Structure 1
Amino acid sequence: MSREERLPIVDCSSSSGEDEAKPVVRRRSTRDTVLAVPKDPGCCDPDSTPHRFLALVFMCLLGFGSYFCYDNPGALQDVFQKELNLSATEFTFIYSIYSWPNIVLCFVGGFLIDRVFGIRMGTIIYMLIVLLGQLIFSTGGLLGQFWLMIVGRFIFGIGAESLAVAQNSYAVLWFKGKELNMVFGLQLSVARFGSTVNFWIMQPLYGYVSKFYAGYTGLGVALFIASSTCVMSLICTLILGWMDKRAERILKRNNNPGGEIAKLSDIVSFKMDFWMVSVVCVAYYVAIFPFVALGQAFFISNFQMTPEQANNVNSIVYLISATASPLFGFIIDKVGRNVTWVFVATIATLGAHMLLTFSHFNPYISMCIMGLSYSMLAASLWPLVALIVPEYQLGTAYGFCQSVQNLGLAVVTIVAGMIVDSSGGSHFWLQLFFMLFLLISLLATCIVWAYDRKHQGNLNMSPSQRAIYHTSMYVNIETS
């Protein structure tokens, strides 16, 4: 395989400036990966902007159901602990069991997309697993059987994290070299809007259902109603699969002109910058998701809020990200400098945690800062993988990132519950624990920047600089 065929995906969005070069950058092969063939007119053309953004609608909605159901326990933390008689450690086990299987299975799931199922079939399979897991989880609640809920949550996690890998792969497949940062931001926006809606409606929904069904039975009924969002996402998955099959047929799409076959052993060939991006992925997200999972109790004890008020402020992170993520993605598409954005986002999140821990400022201020910084990081971090790793390895690479993230979440979430229990319900030491991980994320970001600078990489370039960089690389390869 030639050196050119190993080039990673390049996001060469145009930037302002009349004198800047706008070269056509070829990747992987001296022939185009999309052959010039007759296309359908207008919005029916799979390569047209309206058609791609129609696919993006279904691409985003396929993750809505899993994110909505993921945070069902967080929105009903007081109900879970009361009706099922759970300690904080037992409650956090609902979240940690979600992550444990994905320490390995996300990596395998991404590989299966690359090598066995293909993106369309893989996405459908993972969505079906999500729906099955949520139904079992709801059945456990209906029967008051905590062990059955854990089984359902385990199955749910197997499908949900691999589904996220498929969603990322779909985004790169349809938007490579175009609006990729914005697309990642928009996907996060819709997914986190699902989490936000969950925090808004699950308490009122349970309150209504409990008028007819007492105790844990009402909890189970509310969870079954929540499962309908997964059915909606399954329908979107099927529609997107049909659109992708049609696009592949019309465009004669060839996603791997070099003929390379993904192997599990490919992971050992990844460079330092990928490994440090993975560390950032773990260290940053463990300071967000476990915090939100235990956030209701935190705001009740530290700010004397009711469960409904605590849910409202706790959902701010996801609500802000639902609106800000595509905006940050659009901005990053225009200005580039992804590593700088990751650094600023981590600093801002650390500041938000410090405000919540050491001050009595209105918690809405801190949560708004956290929501903005979380949006900024997601829109800038995940596209870095597509700049580092060749396309035929993307499922494997994204799967590995999800795997190590789940390793961190599985361990940190249950440790967080133990810290709260051992502190008599106090969250002070837990907040210091989260801040430590944010410092680790900062260190890893600095290593990414230093490594990229030393090797004259393109991770912190502007879009115009990336275009020139890859054009010169292509010319050097052609003349060598």
Structure 2
Amino acid sequence: MVQPAEKAYYRFVVLFFNCLLTFGSYFCFDMPSVLQDQFQGNLTCPNATVINGTVDCVAGLGMTPQQYNLLYAIYAWTNAIVVILAGFLIDKLGNRFGVFLFSFLCVLGSSLFALGSHFKGTPYLLPLMLTGRLLFGSGNGSLTIVQNRITAFWFKGKELALAFGLTLAFSRLGSVLNFFLTEKFEDKFGMQWTLWGGALLCVLGFSSAIIVSAMDKVGMKQLGLEGSMQEASRKVRIQDVKLLSLRYWLLVLTIMFFYNGIFPFIADASKFIQDKYGNYSQKEAAYVAGAVYDSSLVLSASVGILIDYVGLRGIFALTCAVLTLPVFGLLAFTFVPPLVSTIWLGITYSFAAASMWPSIPLVVPQATLGTAMGLATSIQMVGIGLSNLVVGQILGTQSSEAKIPLWRWKRMMIFMLANTVSCIVTSVLLNVVDYKQV
């Protein structure tokens, strides 16, 4: 008799709830980007005036640009430290342990972040919000590792890039809806209720974790694999890191440099669009910045199917890096509408994510996949964290500069270009090593 877990529909139901794990957390991750004006706005606006239909003073939390970028940097730094240990623990203790712990940390972190917003004008604001981002970062990056590990198990040799593409699409759906809905929600209900709404979406992820855990456990038993997986997990040692191949390390560096040019850019993109192009409202700027995720959402599944069929993951990674160069060139040196660049970046991002991340299970043993994913995520987050700090320094530290000078924005885009060039170098080396090992 064929068990349900052996049928195709079972693994796609697992995939659906697996995708929902990170939907809410990715919605929360970029909420500060949409609300950047409010985060950096004045504590009070006693003499606000309306000029051409817009208010010259935005009431907010009173953060400096450096403090604002620190919200992203601490997320990245926390990820960098926690995901190494998390990956090893997931390999050792299993998916079900990881999925509960890390989805709970997302709920706790996003709730503390929302709570911090109630303390504006007090010394408690920044410590509370940073602690919230720290806990949220501990959960979200590690949750992605469990998500990828579950996907790699259920789709190994079967539609792997498609499955990875769909998990990415759901995460991006959270990001896209954030860019479309958060500003409207804040306008109607205020910042505090908006941030609590994000925390509630993380509760959806925790509910999905319960379902995924149950289906994963039942499925492994029906397939008769639970015992062998536990046996392999017991053999995992931290020293196994030494066995990871050169291909793996070059792949990780390629991922890091590519993402260095995406997430730090998106964190400040709304503000950049308003400052440089002048005639964009906060809502319009958020929509344009969110086009990176819109493109990714639309393309992820079809790109996954294409890469499953064609292969050539290393060539795709190199091509994506080369085609990303014009994005930051246009933003730095021209006044071409920014929507062109954000859609373009979303397209290259879709191909890069669908070719790079699914390559990791192909170059490491299944038993050490969590550790390998953890290390990859850690190095990625170290890069993003450093990039966030560099961007914060480039853009200046004074909140009194309501409009950041264009020469500072140009320097930021040149920094993004430098990361993309580094990505091209590592992806060339990756293809050379890959070619020699075939």
Same-fold call, TM cutoff 0.5: yes
Establish whether residue 427 from structure 1 lines up as the match of residue 404 from structure 2: no
One-letter code aligned to 1:231:
V
Provide the alpha-carbon RMSD of the alignment: 1.4
One-letter code aligned to 1:452:
D
- Counterpart in the other structure of 2:118: 142
> Is the CA contact (8 Å cut-off) linking 2:179 and 2:286 kept in structure 1?
yes
Matched positions, count: 406
Counterpart pick for 1:103 among 80, 83, 87:
80
One-letter code aligned to 1:388:
V
One-letter code aligned to 2:75:
Y
Establish whether residue 225 from structure 1 lines up as the match of residue 201 from structure 2: no
- Counterpart in the other structure of 1:418: 393
Counterpart pick for 2:17 among 47, 51, 58:
58
CA distance in 1, matches of 2:192, 2:304: 38
1:48-447 to 2 correspondence within 5 Å? 48-82=7-41, 83-116=60-93, 118-144=94-120, 145-209=125-189, 218-253=190-225, 254-255=228-229, 261-304=235-278, 305-421=280-396, 424=405, 426-447=408-429
1:75 and 1:258, CA in 2 relative to 1: closer, same or farther beyond 3 A?
Answer: closer
> Is the CA contact (8 Å cut-off) linking 2:232 and 2:367 kept in structure 1?
no
> Is the CA contact (8 Å cut-off) linking 2:27 and 2:177 kept in structure 1?
yes
> Is the CA contact (8 Å cut-off) linking 2:252 and 2:379 kept in structure 1?
yes
> Is the CA contact (8 Å cut-off) linking 1:256 and 1:391 kept in structure 2?
no
Deviation of the 1:357 alpha carbon:
1.7
Tell which deviates more after alignment, 59-68 or 421-430: 421-430
- Counterpart in the other structure of 1:24: none
CA distance in 1, matches of 2:83, 2:65: 27
The superposition leaves residues 77-100 of structure 1 with CA deviations (integer Å, 9 ceiling, x where unpaired) of 001111121121110000001111
**Larger of the two Rg values belongs to structure:** 1
One-letter code aligned to 2:415:
F
CA distance in 2, matches of 1:109, 1:102: 10
Aligned residue for 2:335, secondary structure, equals coil
CA distance in 2, matches of 1:204, 1:229: 17
TM-score between both structures, scaled by the size of structure 1: 0.82
The superposition leaves residues 22-44 of structure 1 with CA deviations (integer Å, 9 ceiling, x where unpaired) of xxxxxxxxxxxxxxxx433xxxx
> Is the CA contact (8 Å cut-off) linking 1:255 and 1:391 kept in structure 2?
no
CA distance in 2, matches of 1:290, 1:429: 13
Deviation of the 1:104 alpha carbon:
2.0
> Is the CA contact (8 Å cut-off) linking 2:91 and 2:233 kept in structure 1?
no
CA distance in 2, matches of 1:369, 1:337: 21
Establish whether residue 39 from structure 1 lines up as the match of residue 15 from structure 2: no
The superposition leaves residues 343-398 of structure 1 with CA deviations (integer Å, 9 ceiling, x where unpaired) of 11111211211122222222212111110100000000011111110000100000
CA distance in 1, matches of 2:166, 2:274: 32
CA distance in 1, matches of 2:14, 2:170: 14
Higher helix proportion:
2
TM-score between both structures, scaled by the size of structure 2: 0.90
> Is the CA contact (8 Å cut-off) linking 1:101 and 1:154 kept in structure 2?
yes
Gaps of 5+ in 2: 42-59, 398-403
Deviation of the 1:186 alpha carbon:
0.9
One-letter code aligned to 2:256:
V
CA distance in 2, matches of 1:363, 1:294: 13
1:206 and 1:411, CA in 2 relative to 1: closer, same or farther beyond 3 A?
Answer: same
Deviation of the 1:204 alpha carbon:
0.6
Sequence identity (%): 31
CA distance in 1, matches of 2:221, 2:247: 36
Aligned residue for 2:235, secondary structure, equals coil
CA distance in 2, matches of 1:360, 1:72: 27
1:429 and 1:121, CA in 2 relative to 1: closer, same or farther beyond 3 A?
Answer: same
1:51 and 1:133, CA in 2 relative to 1: closer, same or farther beyond 3 A?
Answer: same
CA distance in 2, matches of 1:206, 1:93: 22
The superposition leaves residues 32-63 of structure 1 with CA deviations (integer Å, 9 ceiling, x where unpaired) of xxxxxx433xxxx1121112111111111111
CA distance in 2, matches of 1:183, 1:205: 32
> Is the CA contact (8 Å cut-off) linking 1:39 and 1:251 kept in structure 2?
no
Gaps of 5+ in 1: 1-37, 210-217, 457-480
